[in-house]
Amino acid sequence: MGVLVGKKAPLFEADAVVNGGEFVEKFSLDQYIGKKYVVFFFYPLDFTFVCPTEILAFQKKLDEFEKRDVAVVGCSIDSKFSHWAWLNTEQKDGGIKGVKFPLVSDLSKTISENYDVLAGEYDYDEDNDLSVFDGEPTAYRGLFLIDKQGVVRHQVVNDMPLGRSVDETLRMVDALQYFEEHGEVCPANWKPGEDAMEPSASGVASYLSSH
C-alpha cells in the first residue's frame, strides 16, 4: 500500500490496553469515526530505548491533543500482557507508568502489514510454504493522522533509530484543522497565528509578496 494519504485508514480489531492498565478486546479505530481525529502511531517494541521517550512525550502533550479533539493511539507487535507490564513499570526503571492513551497489540503483525510499516515481509521457504520472514518482524516508527471521516491525511515513517517530533505532529493537526475551518492552505513551516493562503495562483502570489 505504501502511501495511505487520501485513503481510508485500514480497519482492524485487536487487543489493547487502555487507561494505563485495562484490557480491551476488539479495540478498533472505528469508535472515533465522526467523533474524533486520530493520531495512530507504531513503535518497534516495548521495553526498549527510543520508544519510551516518544510514548512519554505523547503523554506529556496529551492534553494538547485532547483540546484539539484528537485521540492518540499507539501500537506495536508486543502482546497485551507486555503492554500491561510496561505500563505498570516505573519510569525510573525503564517503564512508561502514567501513560493513559491506548496501546494496541499487533501480535499477528497484520496491522503493521496493512499500514505498510512492518520492517520486512514473509517469503516462501524451500518447500514453497509462506513461512519465512525476511527482515525484522517489528514495526518502523510510522505515524498516521486520520480525520473524522476515517481518512489518512498525513503520514510519516521513520527508521527505528530515529525518534519523531510530537510538536510537529501537533502542528500537522493544527494545519489540517485550519484548512478544514477556513479553506486556506498552509505554507511551509506554518504555525497557528500565521498567515495561510488561498489555494489559487493569485493567493500564492499575494502570500509570497507579503513575506
Catalytic annotation, residues: 51
CB–CB of 113/11 below 8 Å? no
Which of 200, 199, 174 has its CA nearest to residue 189?
Answer: 174
Residue 2 corresponds to which cell in the numbers above?
Answer: 505504501
CA gap 42, 113 in Å, rounded = 11
* All three cell numbers of 36: 474524533
The one-character DSSP state at 45 is -
Q: What residues are paired with 37 via a beta bridge?
A: 70
Q: How far apart are CA 67 and CA 64, in angstroms?
A: 5
Q: At what angle do helices 166-182 and 50-60 cross, to 10 degrees?
A: 40
Written as one string, the DSSP assignment of 87-150 is HTS-GGGT--TT--S-EEE-TTSHHHHHTT-EEEEEEE-TTS-EEEEEEEEEE-EEEEEE-TTS
